[in-house]
Amino acid sequence: MTNALIENAKAILRRNDKGSYTVPTHGLYPFQWNWDSALSALGFAHFDERRAWREIETLFAHQWPDGMVPHIIFHEEDKGYFPGPDVWQTGRPTPTSGITQPPVAGFAVRRLFDRVLDRDLAERKARALLPKIHAWHSFFYRDRDPDGTGLVAITHPWESGRDNSIDWDAALDRVPRDGLAQFQRRDTDHADPTHRPTQHQYEGYIALVQAYRDAGWDNRRLHAMAPFKVVDPGFNGILLRSCADLADLADLLGERDIARKSHDFVTKSLAALDDLWSDRHGQYLCHDRQTGAAIESASVGGLIPVFAPIPKARAAAIADRLATLARTAEYLAPSHDPTDPRFDAKRYWRGPAWLIVNYMISDGLAQAGQHAMAARLKLDSLRLIERNGFAEYYDPITSEGCGGGSFTWTAAMVLEFLSAQDQAA
Sort 379 into a burial class: Cβ within 10 Å, 0-12 / 13-18 / 19+: middle
The residues that bridge with 283 in the sheet, in sequence order, are 278
Give the whole-angstrom CA distance, residue 344 versus residue 338: 8
Residue 160 DSSP one-character state: G
With CA atoms as reference, report the closest residue to 335 among 210, 159, 161. Answer: 161
Given the residues 36, 143, 159, 163, select the one marked as catalytic: 163
The CA-based angle 104-60-48, given to 5 degrees, is: 75
Peptide bond into 102 cis (omega under 30): no
Phi, psi of 305 (to 5 degrees): -55, -15
Given the residues 55, 187, 344, 392, select the one marked as catalytic: 392
CA 79 to chain CA centroid, Å, is 25
57 is catalytic: no
77 is catalytic: no
Residue 299 DSSP one-character state: B
Give the whole-angstrom CA distance, residue 120 versus residue 265: 29
DSSP per residue, 384-413: HHHHH-S-SEE-TTT--EES-SS-HHHHHH
Give the whole-angstrom CA distance, residue 201 versus residue 217: 22
Phi, psi of 420 (to 5 degrees): -65, -35
DSSP H or E run through 294 = strand 293-294
Give the whole-angstrom CA distance, residue 296 versus residue 248: 35
DSSP per residue, 58-110: HHHTT--TTS---SEE--S--TTSSS-HHHH----SS-B-SS-----HHHHHH
CA atoms within 13 A on the CB side of 169: 13
The residues that bridge with 401 in the sheet, in sequence order, are 394
Q: Is 195:371 a contact under the CB 8 Å cutoff? A: no
CA 74 to chain CA centroid, Å, is 19
Give the whole-angstrom CA distance, residue 284 versus residue 236: 11
Q: Is 78:182 a contact under the CB 8 Å cutoff? A: no
Q: Which residues are designated catalytic?
A: 163, 392
